[in-house]
Amino acid sequence: MQQVDPIRTLQAKYADAKPMSYDPSPTRMEYRAQRLWLSPFFRALVRKGIPAFAIAFFGLQYFMDSGNRQSINTAMMTAAQTVQNRPEYMISSIDIHGASAELAVELEAELKVDFPASTYDIDLDAVRADLEDLPGVDAAVLRVKPGGALDVTVTEVPAVALWRTMDGLKMLSGDGVELRSVTARRDYPDLPLIAGDGAQNLVPEALELFAEATPIQGALRGMVRVGERRWDLILAGDQRISLPEKDPSVALKQILILAQTKDLLARHITVVDYRNPRRPTIRLASGATESVQNTTPASQTGTSQ
């Protein structure tokens, strides 16, 4: 029996069949998909929009849980505290420069910083503003030095006078601003002393009179503002010079000329009243009149022993 070859059978069957033609053009759906992908908006939506939406969606789902939010906050605070409390960020001391001992005490009290403290917990600009609000501080510069020290360099407002009030002695600046209280007058012998209501408002005029009174500085104890209108100079030996309300410097110059030429202040005089420069008067000390009367006859007769 003759065997049949299946391959030859198929070849003979399709020998007369026409070959199939191949069309390389895309289908309509493929064409539309390609055109859509060429759109910049669609590419941005696929590459960025969809991932961003997915991240936002799942992130929102995660943060809607209060426990997750609390754990994240705790982790962030722990990390921040770990960094802030590192030794290189800690301040353990304070160095103050340019201030007197009394002002340095005020500065330390104003700082109100418990050491050690982190630099992240201290607002240096706010601290500087607080220090410059002090009457005795003109300017302040703060910086953190290596080694954990807060360096405070201040420009102190100079004190020019002492003002005696009912509450004690006050140190004044050139503008009459109260800088601080003073315990004893002897601690500041170089500062002129003024007293009386309104004296603090006329510090420049008082300093001018003190400068004019240089020839009697050794005897000058201070100046008193009387009635908020004029000055009295207080000298050693309970002597007083009453100056006029207007042009007190001119009147003082005239008095000093009399003191140098006529030894006016060396006599038994308690008050030199120059309130009216046209009619100056003097007041003798008690017993001075009798002393003069007792010595006058002898000097007139010229008798001698």
Output the CA–CA distances (angstroms, integers) from residue 187 to 123, 182, 184, in the order listed: 37, 8, 6
| Whole-angstrom distance, CA of residue 243 vs CA of residue 196 | 15
Instruction: Return d(Cα 240, Cα 233) in angstroms, integer.
Output: 6
The pLDDT value given to residue 305: 27
The answer to the question of residue 43 being in a domain is no
pLDDT at 20: 60
In which domain, by residue range, is 221 found?
161-295
Is residue 164 over pLDDT 80? yes
Q: What is the pLDDT of residues 235-248, one digit of tens each?
A: 988 889 999 999 99
Residue 171, pLDDT > 90, answer: yes
* Average confidence (pLDDT) over 159-168: 93
Of 96, 123, 156, which closes a domain? Answer: 156
User: Of 122, 156, 190, which marks where a domain is finished?
Assistant: 156
**Is residue 51 a part of any domain in this protein?**
no
Rounded Cα–Cα distance for residues 144 and 135 (Å): 24
If asked whether residues 178 and 291 sit together in one domain, one would say: yes
* Short-list 158, 156, 102, 149, CA closest to 131: 156
What letter represents residue 202's amino acid?
Answer: L
Tens-digit pLDDT profile for residues 269-279: 888 899 988 88
**Which tens digits make up the pLDDT trace of 105-157?**
888 888 877 777 777 778 888 888 988 998 899 999 998 888 778 889 999 99
* Same domain for 141 and 267: no
For residue 135, being part of any structural domain is answered with yes
Range list of β-strands (E), 217-256 = 220-226, 230-235, 239-242
107 and 230 belong to one structural domain = no
Higher pLDDT, 110 or 211: 211
pLDDT averaged over the chain?
82
Same domain for 114 and 203, yes or no, is no
Please check whether residues 172 and 241 belong to one and the same domain.
yes
pLDDT, residue 10, reads 65
In this model, does residue 224 exceed pLDDT 80?
A: yes
Angle at 19 between CA 13 and CA 23, to 5 degrees: 150
For residue 248, report the phi and psi dihedrals to the nearest 5 degrees.
-65, -30
Joined together, the tokens standing for residue 206 give 């008082």
Do 133 and 181 belong together in one domain?
no
Domain end, chosen from 133, 156, 179, is at 156
168 shares its domain with 131: no
Q: Supply the pLDDT for residue 45.
A: 86
264 lies in some domain: yes
Q: How many domains does the chain have?
A: 2
Q: pLDDT above 70 covers what percent of the chain?
A: 84
Distance from the first to the final alpha carbon of the chain? 198
pTM greater than 0.75 (yes/no)? no
Q: What is the CATH number of the domain that holds 94?
A: 3.10.20.310
pLDDT given at position 17: 58
137 domain-assigned: yes
What is the pLDDT at residue 4?
61
The predicted structure's pLDDT at residue 83: 67
**pLDDT attached to residue 173:** 93
In angstroms, the CA 106 to CA 168 distance is 19
**How many CA atoms lie within 13 Å of 218's alpha carbon, on the beta-carbon side?**
2
Helices (H), ranges, the chain: 6-13, 28-37, 40-44, 50-63, 66-84, 101-111, 124-132, 203-212, 248-261, 288-301
Residues 129 and 236 in one domain: no
In a domain, 302, yes or no: no
Whether residues 112 and 202 share a domain: the answer is: no
Give the Cα separation of 196 and 35 in Å (integer): 97
* Predicted local confidence at residue 300, as pLDDT: 42
- Residue 237 has φ and ψ, to the nearest 5°, of 80, 25
Q: What tens digit of pLDDT does each residue of 54-97 get?
A: 899 888 888 888 888 888 888 888 777 776 677 767 787 888 88
What is the structure's pLDDT at 101?
85
Q: Angle at which helices 66-84 and 50-63 pack, to 10 degrees? A: 90
Give the CATH number for residue 269. Answer: 3.40.50.11690
